[in-house]
Structure 1
């Protein structure tokens, strides 16, 4: 493929550009991969993780708030606040959950949604049941049935104690009083231990209850042995006490049995067995989703990092390849072009030194340097031919110059004899030429005077014609001014009519103002302000009338001046017409005079032509003789100069031969 240097450079830069574009495409592909990973990370992975963490926190807040409500909800003010917080947490979770629908697949989202619905249903059940009687059956049975019966039994014992306290007998009566008191105290302590057991469920509280109840049984048995000491009323109280005691003991056993079962607290059991596992399952699902998305985020991050690394690697590799390619191309082309230029430069130096005997240079390629090398070869061959031809012709010219010098000497001698003869003829012709010149000069003077008169008349004619055009233009200007003044007169008349209308309006306004003043005077104090306005209006009407009168006077003055101007313009029109007619007459007279002068000028020109012809003929003969003489002199000079030049040429040819010896042709 044949390319010029510029083509090679363009091809090199095109190759580098293609290399750069290919590298840019790979980099763009890597950047697109980074963008895809980043988009997926920002639009899917991170939002899913954030939403999952938020839902986990909401679950923890839901359980914590529910526990607080279970503990403190019996207080209505605190319970309502806790319940409101619980509902707020549930509502915020309901609002946050749909955001996962666009981030998860359908099955995962439905699984999380169903698990949350289960948790929410359990939370609602627990919150509704936590402070109802169904929640703590042992507590309800104790408070509603067992405790009131025990209180009645204690009241009976208190009645016995009160009755016995008034008995002043000693001995067995004192012992009975003490038994009443111990029985009351043991039963009261047993009730207190039962309450502690119901609250805390500890075995030590149950043991204390049983110990107090056993002691109470001993005291009751001993009292039963002393029933004979009781009065009838005390015996009735004692019988009622035993009846209440028989009712209390089975109920107390039921309370203990309910409290010792695993379901003694329904909401706690539901929370432990249903809610907490459901929350754990939902937390596990969310944690799995979070872990999965975090793994995907890690993969996306690794993809971003690897893509960025590949982009950096591509940039470094493409830069290195681009630099190496640029260096290789520039080095190769620089060395190739420099080597060929050195060869051409060396040959040019040899030619400049006069050595044209070198063989042709080898032409490489078809670029500009190849053309330059070919041109150098052609120039070398042409110079060789020229040097050889000049050397041969210089020798021939030298021989011819010697013969020419001899011929010039013979010609110079003959020319000298002819010059003497021509000088005598020239003197006689000079005398004839002088007389012919005088006649011609007189004719020229007369013709010149006539021409000057003709020019002056023509100038006058042109001036009259310009004057006539000026008068015509003046006439048109006067007519235009007359029309404008007439229009001005008409417009001033229109102004007069307008002022008449204004004056009529002013008179009517004056009458109206007068009537208004009269009406204001009739109105008395109420019309005073209106009277002032009426006076001002009447004053304005008076001023308007005065102004219109002044305008009318000015308009009449303008109309009078306009009429005078129209009269003067008419006179100017007449004078302009008369001036135009006189100018036309003068122009006609000058035209006739010009015709006569032209005829006289024609006759003088014929005379001048005859005199000039004679003078010219004489001068021509004299000129011819002078020319012949000068030509003869020139021939003599040329012969002399030719001899000198021939001699110089002969010497220069000899010098040229010496110079041509410096060129090497072999």
Structure 2
């Protein structure tokens, strides 16, 4: 809806109301047509059907009267006239039956009419039989009441059922007509109510869609006029009110952007002025600390000279000791190598003895087997082999004793071999340790050489420290002049920052943050003490050269003219580092 113009929106509202009115009129016309068709159906069909049913019943009564009179009369002329009338009534009844069958459109009615037709056919058949008997001169006076009257009664009952059914159908159709009339009235009432609700709702919606953006635009303009730039304008749509809100949102955003930039610049200037004041305090303290640092540096120079001379003497003694230790380690390595060779020979001899003992053990085992075989053969020889059996037993005993001795020697030799192998492993480990000792002694010699080189570098560092002391004296004089110029610039910058913050304090931005007041300069007591501790500690020889290079080129004095806000805002984070370089 907000994407439509106001004129289009109002036109749609009136078009909706007119459309609803036309829809109600069309519904009323359709309902009246339906009621008219239902009324015509009742008038034409149902009443005609009731009329035909009544005529059929009347024809039955007339036919019965004439048939009864004809059957009971003895006058031939009357009988002929009555017969002619009955036939005419029967023809009329057939036409009525056919017309009524055409008007009936329900199954029950058709079934009732079919039943009436069957009863009528039965009535006609009985009547024809009685008429033939009467024509032959027979008396049918008693048979009329006995035979034809029951059939006529059934015929009348069937017609009464058809008439009752027609009346029920007529009542149902009238009730349906009344129901349709009531339903049409309710539909018209509900349609009128819905039309009223839709028209009222659309009118309220269209009115609010026009008045809400205008009310929001008025509130936004009042808030901007009061200096509140924190409101958010939700401008949706493309109508005139939405275009007005878009324009107000653009104006508010641009104004908020300008105020935010001015506030940021004011905060940056205030921060910069605070940093400058803080830097002046640090600079003053550091100027005093540098003077004491020069005295500490001179004392450190004397200690450094004594340390360098002592390091040179220690390096010479360490070099001599390293050479002697290297010679001793070389001799020890040679002796350990000889011991390793000797232990390898002993191990080889032990393995050879073990092999010989194994051979002796095998020979003893074979001798025992041979003695056993000889004893068996002597036993077979009987008395002739008894002496030979004694000798074989002695040989077997000697073989067993030789085997036991060989096993004991083998056990002793095995234990000796294990000990020799353990000693050989220890000798090899001792050789490895001697190699490690020799490598360590060589590393010590290299370290002593490095210490000698470091002593030379320390000597160069002493001279560089002397140059640094001279440069520090020059920087101290420059810092004294810089302190005076920076103090004047800081005071001017602080005044301008305070005025700028007061100017933008009237506006409130979207984040709700108020502009910060110009900070007060805090005393710099902690940083100078830390700097004094750092300067008092003697620096290494390798770090002296970069320090001298960094202090050799002092910064020129700062101008007293305050810098623009954007430049100060970018340089705020590095101001403290710039002060420390002096």
Structure 1 length-normalised TM: 0.31
Tell me which structure has the larger Cα radius of gyration: 1
